[in-house]
Amino acid sequence: MILSCRYLLICSATLALLLLRLCSGLSLDTVREFLTREEDTVVFGLIERAKHPRNTPAYDPGYLAGGGHGHDASFAEMFVRESEAVQAKEGRYQSLQEIPFFPFRVPFTLAPPYNFTTELYSAAALVNVNDAIWSMYFNELLPLLAKNGDDGNYAATVSSDLVCLQALSRRINYGRYVAEVKFIGDQQNYTTLIRNKDTDALMKLLTSEAQEDVVKRRVQKKAMVFGQNVTLDGPVETGNSNSSQTSFKVDPSLVYKLYDKWVIPLTKQVEVEYLLHRLD
């Protein structure tokens, strides 16, 4: 009797969640559309950051400490922390699509109340890889993106870093929504693998190499198109992206590498971690 009641409760909860998802319009098509639009945001963010030099002092924890300010964090970290605190008060993180790099409690919000839809499964909704994104961005991507130099414009530079970080976080952690849609579409197979904690099989089931190739080539092309120098006579011809004579605001091959080496693998990591908590 108890088992029957539990089964009915589980079925009712699943049905309610599915109906809510249908009402909110979440589907594989809407998820893909969101991810495609986020590519634009990522590419434009990289273009904006690339116009600033490396500005190394902004990322040196000893820089602020040496100035007697009493901080043990870099200027970049302090900027992100303070910016997120303000944005949290303005309601940015009420939406589950947005995840701060430095979570903290906000006693109130100034934003008008809004009933955000809850498409994600509550026990798995907080899965994120922001720590990995932070490390990847500053330690691996930024040295490839920004040219050497120091112009002293640290606030403007780090502000563009924040835009890139938030775009990458939103894009990569959206893997939770991808996983939810895929789970609903094939519950039987996913449930078996989740119960067996078969991460390798989950990763294989989630992976579509053909689709991933399309995404990587598309973002590379966007970097070529968005990164051209435009005049009143039209875009300046920049030639083949593989040519050493090509001049883009951001190297298209770097954007391809970003998605190939970091964005897509981290997104799939989010998907797997989300699914492992999907039956909690």
Write the Ramachandran bin of 163: left for phi over 0, alpha for psi from -120 to 50, otherwise beta.
alpha
Q: For the residues 40-53, what does the mean pLDDT come to?
A: 98
pLDDT at 53 over 90: yes
Q: For the residues 113-125, what does the mean pLDDT come to?
A: 89
Terminal-residue alpha carbon distance, the chain:
22
Q: Do residues 45 and 224 lie in contact, with contact meaning Cβ atoms separated by under 8 Å? A: no
Report DSSP state, residue 148. Answer: S
Class of domain 28-228+246-277 as given by CATH:
mainly alpha
Q: For the residues 69-86, what does the mean pLDDT come to?
A: 88
pLDDT at 217 over 70: yes
Q: What is the pLDDT of residues 236-254, one digit of tens each?
A: 655 454 444 458 999 999 9
Q: Do residues 270 and 129 lie in contact, with contact meaning Cβ atoms separated by under 8 Å? A: yes
Q: Do residues 80 and 158 lie in contact, with contact meaning Cβ atoms separated by under 8 Å? A: yes
Q: Residue ranges per domain, the chain?
A: 28-228+246-277
Q: Which residue has the higher pLDDT, 15 or 35?
A: 35
Q: What is the rounded distance in angstroms from the CA atom of residue 189 to the CA atom of residue 274?
A: 15
pLDDT at 72 over 90: no
Strands, E assignment, 156-254: 230-231, 234-235
Q: What is the rounded distance in angstroms from the CA atom of residue 223 to the CA atom of residue 252?
A: 5
Q: What is the pLDDT of residue 66?
A: 56
